[in-house]
């Protein structure tokens, strides 16, 4: 078994996001997206791999989070 990271387009890039809004009174899909981004409490910060799928999830809940670092 190889322990090397996959050499994809975005293998080394990460994006750090912080939750700023509450998921209360939001659609279920938006709450599940926050959980998928490893966020579920205000103030939590998650470092995620920068992929098109992650960018789509960030766009879906952009009103509830902020990008801290790129």
Quick one: pLDDT at residue 70? 72
Quick one: pLDDT at residue 2? 45
Q: Name the pLDDT band for 3 (thresholds 50, 70, 90).
A: low
Global pTM?
0.78
Quick one: pLDDT at residue 27? 95
Copy the structure tokens of residue 42: 């205000």
In angstroms, the Cα distances linking 18 to 23, 24, 27, 60, 67 are 13, 17, 19, 14, 6
Query: Is residue 56 packed enough to be buried (19+ CB in 10 Å), middle (13-18) or exposed (0-12)?
Result: exposed
Quick one: pLDDT at residue 12? 75
Structure confidence by residue, pLDDT tens digits, 5-59: 555 555 679 999 999 999 999 999 999 999 999 999 999 999 999 999 999 999 9
């Amino acid at each position: 078994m190889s322990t090397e990271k996959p050499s994809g387009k975005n293998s080394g890039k990460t994006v750090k996001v912080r939750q700023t809004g509450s998921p209360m009174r939001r659609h279920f899909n938006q709450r599940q997206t926050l959980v998928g981004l490893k966020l579920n409490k205000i103030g939590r910060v998650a470092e995620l791999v920068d992929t098109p799928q992650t960018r789509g999830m960030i766009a879906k809940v952009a009103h509830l989070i902020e990008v801290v670092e790129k």
